[in-house]
Structure 1
Amino acid sequence: MDTTTIGLLYTGVTLVLLFSGMPIAFALGLSALGFMAGFMPSAHLGSVAETIFAELDNFTLLTIPLFVLMGAAIGKTRAGADIYNSLNAWLHRVPGGLGLANVFACAVFAAMCGSSPATCSAIGSSGIPQLVKRGYSEGLATGIIAAGGTLGILIPPSLTLILYGLASEQSIGRLFMAGIGPGTLLIFLFALWVMIKYKLERQVAAGRNDAAAQAILEDEQITWHDRLSALPRLLPFGILIAVIMIAMYGGWATPSEVAGIGAVGATVMVILLYQCYRVDDIKTILSGTIRESTMIMMIIATSFLFTYVMSYLGITQKAATWLVELELSKWVFFFWVNVFIIVLGFFLPPVAIILMVTPILLPALNALNIDLIWFGIVMTILMELGLITPPVGLNLFVINGISPDIKLKNILLGSLPFIGLMLLAIVILCVVPGIATWLPNHFYQGG
């Protein structure tokens, strides 16, 4: 059997296992072991444990459980509601201020949590009812949270960027810094759309005389006392984010050390400010951290085995040669890779896409002189699309779970404009790549 046939069979079997609902780690591992037994010398089966351990013996991987702990600690509290309420107190006079408060709250929470579903749940549980109550359409209210939640995999610290860095052998610190500009761009585009859509809905409401119209036309009364009293609730989060950013981008700490700072800082904050010191509270935080970290590490371990088999059988090299021999121009190749990743995002989570696709694309990306840091950011935005597109759009179902009275159809329709904005952001990054590359190229000196 030639390499091309083996490669197609290997890919097909893996996708069938993934689509069957089998956990990602088991699907990748079972596929790898099956082809190792069928097409490789039997001695390789005896070295599976050694191969996996050698790949996991990487200090950078320590960032994963530490950042997960940071997110678990923050997620255990009412932090999402506090961030949302504090921002709303200061933004309510701006047109669409309540919607903007939700966008910025998602960004702040994502910067500390790094999880899109957790961001949707934490901010959406408080924000969506308030948005609907204030007369925002169900589509806009849920679209804000669904799209805002996707920022969790782009704004550092991001587990997705960590995994891409490991798969592509790129600096985690540089990837984190590269995510700041595009993350800010998406926040700006989301905020701009919210303001425009709010004005349109307000104009339509002016011609009606129902309760929803009165709600959106009525001005919320918030005093300066309310604004100032909101600051102490927002300040601790600002300090924690500032410490993390300064430590990492000031060159004072490695990503692993920064993860430790974030984990300790978040744990201390939830104990002191939110009184999460009881045994049950600590148990919930630690058990959640262990479950998620173990899941991610298992996926990483089996993905190493998966790519090892691909490389040994020559599948990676054959695919890379085929891509290069197509002789596509840089931008034509980039376009079809984007389409490919978007299609995969309809069915697979970001972790699976990164660990399966990156090793195959790397040789072609290098041959076409495509900046791997820049591409990692674009790839992350493409995978954000998968979080708000059916049939597997995780954020859509998280929002449907916290707002069961809102139809899934309305949630999807409300998310469509934000999908367009993400695609627009990619176009802007193609025209102005410095949005992603300027900071890491000029300020980051670490590895």
Structure 2
Amino acid sequence: MDPLLLGALVAIFTVVVLFSGVSVALGLLIVSAGFLIVFDGMRSLELMPEILFGKLNNFALLSIPMFIIMGASIASTRAGADLYEALERWLTRVPGGLVISNLGACALFAAMSGSSPATCAAIGKMGIPEMRKRGFPDGVAAGSIAAGGTLGILIPPSVTMIVYGIATETSIGRLFLAGVIPGLLLVALFMAWSLYSTWRSGDAAALTARSYSWRERVEILPRVLPFLAIILGVLYAMYGGIATPSETAAVGALLCLVIAMVIYRLWNPADLWAVLRDSTKESVMILFIIAAAGVFSYMLSSLFITQSIAEWIGTLDVNRWVLMGAINVFLLIAGFFLPPVAVILMAAPILLPIITSAGFDPIWFAVVLTINMEIGLISPPVGLNLYVINGIAPDIKLKTILVGSLPFVGCMVLAIVLLCLFPGLATWLPDLVMGPRI
């Protein structure tokens, strides 16, 4: 059978299996095993266990559970509430300072936790009721938190970036640095839209806030500064050549647990067990998807599907930006239905040779891909952040949350356009800190 036609069949069957309700990892294994048996015979299954476990034989994978523990220990405390309150106290005199406080808190908490749902839950529980109480429209209140939560997969340390680095054999340190400026750009765009939306609504109550004394502003800082110091310390250790990403993640996870125990009195063994249990569950889920995606990639390569698709696209006489536009549409659609980790692991083996042959930088592309995945987190039908916000504020209709999130989707699209026009936004900082790539 023609490899391109076979690739179309694989895509159709993969969509059908994943929509049947099975887990992503199990679905990839089912599709891989089925096509290998039909087109390569039963003997091809002998290599599956070796590929499955061999994909996990990577020291860099240790950073995933460590960063997850780091985020889980923070998410299990009042760190999100304290971070939100600290920013509110310092920005209270800024016009529209409350919405800026929420977005700033989302950005900082996302950097500490690396989890979009955790960011939405931690900041939204305090931020949404407070914004609504002061007169902000429900759409702005809910949409800003839903969009701010997506920053968790872009601002370092990011588990999504780690997965991309492992899947494409790209430097994780460079990927982390590449997400810094685009992440700050998104925060700025989100804040700009929120302020414009608040001003346009003409609601004076939304622009008023209580006053805080300098003592009230300073007294809350000791609760949040240690976590911020850990983030800066992790990044310094990583880029200062002191430790590898995996070693840095382990130290960061230990320090976050210690601070959670000392500052937030997380002494109860049941609470500590919950942190480790939930971190283990999430880590196993991600690692299982990575292993299954390795088998899926082997199947695509063994049946010459990957090579044929790359060769076919290479023969197309189209502008490379038209090609990139088509890739972005594909990623958007995939992100609507699948989690970011699954999309990266399934698409990276196919897209990487295509983008490199078209002259695109794989570090730059990682940022573009991640922003596409962010859009998927606040887009139906699977937009996870929308349902997290709906769980926090059930009296706000899902439609209102979605409508409130759409302008932020526009901000993300604008960020992708700016990255296409100015790729240095993603590549300048990695080259400055780690030197140009040879």
Task: Identify the TM-score tier after normalising by the shorter chain.
Answer: over 0.9
Q: Structure 1 length normalisation: TM-score?
A: 0.95
In structure 2, the residue corresponding to 1:21 is in which secondary structure?
Answer: coil
Note the 1:342-353 alignment, pairs <5 A: 342-353=332-343
CA distance in 2, matches of 1:216, 1:51: 56
CA distance in 1, matches of 2:97, 2:234: 28
Deviation at 1:445, TM superposition (A): 5.5
Judge which range, 135-144 or 37-46, deviates more. Answer: 37-46
Q: Deviations over 1:274-300 (max 9, x none)?
A: 111221011101100110001011000
Note the 1:22-421 alignment, pairs <5 A: 22-201=22-201, 203=202, 205=203, 215-216=205-206, 218-421=208-411
Deviation at 1:218, TM superposition (A): 4.2
In structure 1, the residue corresponding to 2:55 is in which secondary structure?
Answer: helix
CA distance in 2, matches of 1:323, 1:371: 18
Give me the identity figure in percent.
52
Deviation at 1:446, TM superposition (A): 11
Match of 1:211 in 2: none
CA distance in 1, matches of 2:207, 2:89: 18
Deviation at 1:244, TM superposition (A): 1.2
Q: Deviations over 1:313-360 (max 9, x none)?
A: 001001111111112211111111111111111212111211111111
Judge which range, 190-199 or 373-382, deviates more. Answer: 190-199
Report if the CA contact (8 A) 1:429-1:435 is conserved: yes
Report if the CA contact (8 A) 2:390-2:398 is conserved: yes
CA distance in 1, matches of 2:235, 2:187: 18
Report if the CA contact (8 A) 1:76-1:285 is conserved: yes
Report if the CA contact (8 A) 1:71-1:112 is conserved: yes
CA distance in 1, matches of 2:177, 2:436: 11
Match of 2:429 in 1: 439
Report if the CA contact (8 A) 2:332-2:375 is conserved: yes
> Which amino acid letter does the alignment assign opposite residue 302 of structure 2?
Y
Report if the CA contact (8 A) 1:80-1:105 is conserved: yes
Residues 1:306 and 1:232: Cα distance change in structure 2 (over 3 Å): same
Q: Deviations over 1:354-387 (max 9, x none)?
A: 1111111111111111000000000000110000
Report if the CA contact (8 A) 2:74-2:112 is conserved: yes
Q: Deviations over 1:128-173 (max 9, x none)?
A: 0111011111000011101100000000111111111111111111
Match of 1:209 in 2: none
Deviation at 1:268, TM superposition (A): 0.8
CA distance in 2, matches of 1:218, 1:302: 52
Long gaps (5+) in structure 1: 207-214
Query: What is the count of residue pairs matched by the alignment?
Result: 437
Report if the CA contact (8 A) 2:328-2:372 is conserved: yes
CA distance in 1, matches of 2:207, 2:338: 42
CA RMSD of aligned residues (A): 1.4
Deviation at 1:48, TM superposition (A): 1.6
1:21 partnered with 2:38: no
Report if the CA contact (8 A) 1:173-1:446 is conserved: no
Long gaps (5+) in structure 2: none
> Which amino acid letter does the alignment assign opposite residue 376 of structure 2?
G
CA distance in 1, matches of 2:207, 2:65: 46
CA distance in 1, matches of 2:8, 2:207: 58
Q: Structure 2 length normalisation: TM-score?
A: 0.97
